[in-house]
Amino acid sequence: MKKIVIIDGGPRKNMNTAKLLQRLAEGVKSVDKNAEIKVVRLYDVDYKGCMSCMACKLKGKASNVCCFKDALTPVLNEVAQADGLVLGSPIFFGEVTGRMRAFLEHLSFPWLSYNDYSLTAPKRMPVVLVETMNGTPERNNSNHFGTMEYCIATALGEPQHIVAYNTCQVASYDRYELGGFSEEAKHAWRDAHWDEDLQKAFDAGRRMAER
Ligand X SMILES: Cc1cc2nc3c(=O)[nH]c(=O)nc-3n(C[C@H](O)[C@H](O)[C@H](O)COP(=O)(O)O)c2cc1C
Residues lying near ligand X in the complex (CB under 6 A): 10, 12, 15-18, 90-94, 132-135, 167, 169
Closer to ligand X by Cβ: residue 107 or 133: 133
DSSP code of 188?
Answer: H
Closer to ligand X by Cβ: residue 18 or 128: 18
Closer to ligand X by Cβ: residue 35 or 148: 148
Greatest distance between any 2 Cα atoms in the chain: 61
Closer to ligand X by Cβ: residue 74 or 94: 94
Q: Which residues pair with residue 90 across a beta bridge?
A: 132
Shortest reach from residue 97's CB to ligand X, in Å: 8
Q: CA–CA separation, 163 vs 130, rounded Å?
A: 6
Shortest reach from residue 132's CB to ligand X, in Å: 3
Shortest reach from residue 146's CB to ligand X, in Å: 13
Q: How far apart, in Å, are the Cα atoms of 151 and each of 113, 146, 182?
A: 12, 9, 38
Q: CA–CA separation, 133 vs 119, rounded Å?
A: 29
Shortest reach from residue 156's CB to ligand X, in Å: 23
